[in-house]
Amino acid sequence: MNRDDPAWLAQEDFEAARSRTEPWLHRTQLLSFRTLGARTGGPVFLKCENLQRTGSFKVRGALNAMAVLDEDERGRGVITVSAGNHAQAVAWAARREGVRAVVVMPAGAARSKAAAAGAYGAEVVVHGSAAAAFGEARRRAEHEGLVFLHPFDSARVVEGHGAVGLEIDEDLDEPAAVVVPVGGGGQIAGVAGALAAAGRLRANGRPGHRVFGVEPEGAPAMRRSLDAGRPMHLESTNTVADGLAAPMAGRLNYRYVAEFVDDVVLVSDKEMFSALRLLLTRAKMVAEPSGAAAVAALMFGRIPLAPGETAVAVLSGGNADPDVLVRALREGAPWSDPAPAADGTAADGPSAAAGREAAAGRPAPRGREAP
């Protein structure tokens, strides 16, 4: 990575975004999940972005994008397109900034997410497929003079999401395999980009983190892009994980993934349901299917971990439709515990990992509890 290349965001860009947004957002917890760690053979942590404001990581990028608007742009108002989480994030950020917000959502978006975006103050427009919704948002932006906020293919959005990676790095004592759900690629570009800019990725024999992406089998835009060597559009998507059903990989996001991400793997809807069931019954944690994708990848062996290697699954969102949770409990495979450890103990549930006290008095997961 050439730090002087203006095509790449610098460490200062990620830190500036963090400074702009940190006062208004949660520093989400990193919780140990010994149940899953017993299967992977090493410590597993959950980065709980499902507990972030508006219920997902999306607010980090949306608030940063909103914060850098000039007075003319604020006066014009903003428009975006989203299956739900980005819509809620933009609505919340716009209300905080006193800016008009219009969100265009595909017809298949969860009613609960559309209702939440409206409750945060956005004008909600429901329109066609995901691809058609993008077109409608662009048309309205031009016709009404609104500022189009891209949900993922934007440097300001990527900058905002970088804080997820930086917080993980600060809260761990050792390098980890960081597993990130991928839709259009905004979050994984931010996580990998921020870690790379800070010199915290494994590279050229230097120890550091590795980053992996996870997509649904029914919406593999980034995987196909990597295979083709360029950003690709999908003709259609078919997955229960609406938050990962972007019809294309972002151009900026693709560049970051191709440069800094070890691999992007695929999981099935059934596997995401199984991960949701595990999180509900053993972690006592509510996620949506897209939020559970990273756990699914670890559960079903998609991530090549070294013996004893630490892994972090980013729970990217928790805005789950109740009907989807019922399906997960019915259709997800029940968990089968590994054999008890030699001392007779068994792994169960997440716990706040013990460790050092941060300067602000927050407990950080420096140490790990015995399994």
Alpha helices in 77-220 (DSSP H): 85-97, 111-119, 130-144, 155-171, 186-197
Question: CB under 8 Å to 123, separation ≥6 — which residues?
Answer: 100, 101, 102, 103
Question: CB under 8 Å to 264, separation ≥6 — which residues?
Answer: 182, 212, 213, 214, 215, 222, 223, 226, 257
Tell me the residue type at 265: V
268 is catalytic: no
Count of CA atoms in the C-beta half-sphere (13 A) of 207: 6
CA distance 102 to 141: 9
Please pick, among 47, 58, 154, 274, the residue that the annotation labels catalytic: 58
Give which of 163, 152, 157 is closest to 19, Cα–Cα: 163
Question: CB under 8 Å to 210, separation ≥6 — which residues?
Answer: 175, 176, 177, 178, 201, 202, 262
Give which of 214, 210, 212, 213 is closest to 176, Cα–Cα: 210
Residue with tokens 């960081």: 178
CA distance 104 to 127: 7
Using DSSP bridges, classify how beta strands 101-105 and 176-181 pair: parallel, antiparallel or unpaired: unpaired
CB 104 within 8 A of CB 90: no
Rounded to 10 deg, the angle between the 11-21 and 155-171 helix axes is 90
CB 272 within 8 A of CB 240: yes
CA distance 83 to 129: 10
Length of the chain: 371
CA distance 158 to 162: 6
316 is catalytic: yes
Q: Active-site positions?
A: 58, 316
